[in-house]
Amino acid sequence: MASSNGNDSSAQQTVTLRIKRQKAPGEAPYWETFKVPYERGMNVISALMKIRLNPETAEGRKTTPVTWDAGCLEEVCGACSMRINGIPRQSCTALIDNLEQPIVLEPFSKFPVIRDLMVDRTPMFESLKRVKAWVPVDGTYHLGPAEKISPEMQQIRYKYSECMTCGCCLEACPQYNGKSAFIGASVIGQSYLFNAHPTGKNLKGDRLDVMMGVGGVVDCGNAQNCVRVCPKGIPLTDAIAAIGGQVTIHAIRKMLHF
């Protein structure tokens, strides 16, 4: 909750934020504390914008504006991911009224820091390339009618299509770190999504080759942190189980050459 200055109920309220900062990649991180005016309904992004308008620490020392990443501001793009009070989540939907103060903001620890709260999520996007997380379409000729999809499968696929590559599941995963090749839950979920697509399944074998290799689905430790922190509530553990089954069948077929 916001704190009141003095005993006067009409006194201006403030929000206290403790932010882990870093000037550039490879430089030592440091902490700064800020106090900003409280407004009803404000979120973490609103507080960071107030700091940008007046970059001054709680001690009254002038400093540089805090850098963070953002796009849609409505939990669709996934860009504003950060650790908020130790939990990986979207800062655009993190309401100040629901957070314990001081609000501690940190960049994700599983990705290289660019500056302050902004990280480089390139490794996640490169993993999506590895599993060919797309639908191959040849527009040079008519492909004929598409395969019919049941309403049940439509609902399942729609949920996985909500993944915004925010990285929360990877940040929370104990298997995803600098010492492991594990590809991560989000990429496994997208592999399941495109394997279930009528045209996307044409690349199913390529995806399963990656999933049965080093860093693939077998490296999942089943901590289930991914489903706990996913902002969209995507059933990632279901996808991990399904891909595990597909990998087993794929491996047997390759062994028997059919």
pLDDT score recorded for residue 4: 42
CATH class as words, domain 3-119: alpha beta
pLDDT of 197: 92
Q: What is the pLDDT of residue 169?
A: 97
Query: Which residues are CB-contacts of 232 (< 8 A; sequence separation ≥ 6)?
Result: 159, 162, 163, 164
**Could you tell me which CATH class the domain 122-256 is placed in?**
mainly alpha
DSSP result, 167-216 = -HHHHH-TT-STT-----HHHHHHHHHHHTSTTGGGGHHHHHHHHTSTTS
Residue 10: per-residue pLDDT: 36
pLDDT of residue 67: 97
- 10-residue block means of pLDDT along the chain (258 residues)? 42 86 96 96 96 96 96 93 97 96 97 97 96 87 80 94 96 93 96 94 95 95 96 97 96 87
Angle 244-181-175 (CA atoms, 0-180°, nearest 5)?
70
d(Cα 50, Cα 11) in Å, to the nearest integer? 19
H helices of 82-179, in order, are 122-130, 151-161, 168-172
Q: Which distant-in-sequence residues (6+ apart) come within 8 Å of 26 by Cβ?
A: none
What's the pLDDT at 7? 38
Sorted by where each begins, the domain ranges of the chain are 3-119, 122-256
Predicted pLDDT of residue 8: 38
Predicted TM-score (pTM) of this structure: 0.89
Q: Please list, in sequence order, all residues whose beta carbon lies within 8 angstroms of the beta carbon of residue 32, skipping any fewer than 6 positions away.
A: 18, 19, 21, 57, 63
Q: Which uninterrupted H or E stretch holds 254?
A: helix 236-256
